[in-house]
């Protein structure tokens, strides 16, 4: 998989009992998962993110609703990706400033990450991010 932000199709099978979704290392996800976290109960008028990562790669899913994710490469390119289905996930490579907008308080943002939590991997200041991307 090329290291650029992209919506990944998540396989699903539907039968009379309901739906099952699945993804696997190397098929749909290019990194080994070291950490899983999820964000929930985000109130209207709040969003999340507002940071970038130096090395961390992530696969992001919206469970039970819609999440819009703005990705900024710090070089003048911004794209908005809409997660509105359990059959879609967003691959976020390292080096993108992200803002996550939640469509409702009920939606859960499920994140599969390539590394354990490390505050040193975060860039939380946008100016610092722009400098980092220039260098
Ligand atoms: P933060 O990065 O601000 O959340 P968001 O992804 O919405 O920008 O994280 C909120 C707090 O949770 C912060 O104190 C760091 C902590 N945290 C961990 O301890 N481990 C984790 O895996 C994550 C994602 C966050």
Closest CA to 78 of 66, 87, 70, 68: 70
Give the pLDDT score at 3. 84
Over the stretch 46-104, which tens digit does the pLDDT of each residue have? 999 999 999 999 999 999 999 999 999 999 999 999 999 999 999 999 999 999 999 99
H/E stretch holding 134 reads: helix 126-134
Contact 122, 132 (CB under 8 A): no
Residue whose Cα lies nearest atom 3 of ligand 1: it is: 49
Which residue from 34, 51, 96 has its CB within 8 A of the most atoms of ligand 1, so it is best to mutate? 51
Report the nearest atom of ligand 1 relative to the CA of 113. Answer: 22
Which comes out higher in pLDDT, residue 60 or 135?
60
pLDDT digits (tens, 9 = 90+) for 31-45: 999 999 999 999 999
Q: How many CB atoms lie within 10 A of CB 60?
A: 22
What does the pLDDT average to over 112-124?
98
Verify whether residue 51 is a known catalytic residue. Answer: yes
Residue nearest to atom 1 of ligand 1 (CA): 49
Closest Cα to atom 16 of ligand 1 = 117
Is the shortest distance between the CB of 39 and ligand 1 below 6 Å? yes
């Amino acid at each position: 998989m090329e290291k650029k932000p992209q919506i990944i199709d998540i396989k699903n099978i539907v039968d009379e009992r309901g739906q099952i979704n699945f993804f696997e290392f190397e098929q749909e996800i290019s990194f080994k998962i070291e950490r899983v976290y999820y964000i929930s109960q985000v109130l209207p008028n709040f969003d999340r993110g507002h940071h970038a990562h130096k090395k961390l790669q992530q696969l992001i899913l919206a469970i039970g609703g819609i999440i819009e994710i703005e990705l900024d490469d710090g070089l003048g390119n911004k794209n908005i990706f809409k997660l509105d289905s359990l059959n879609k996930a967003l691959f976020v490579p390292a080096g993108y400033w992200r803002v996550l907008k939640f469509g409702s308080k009920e939606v859960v943002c499920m994140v599969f990450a390539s590394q354990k939590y490390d505050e040193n991997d975060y860039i939380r200041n946008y100016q610092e991010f722009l400098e980092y991307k220039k260098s």
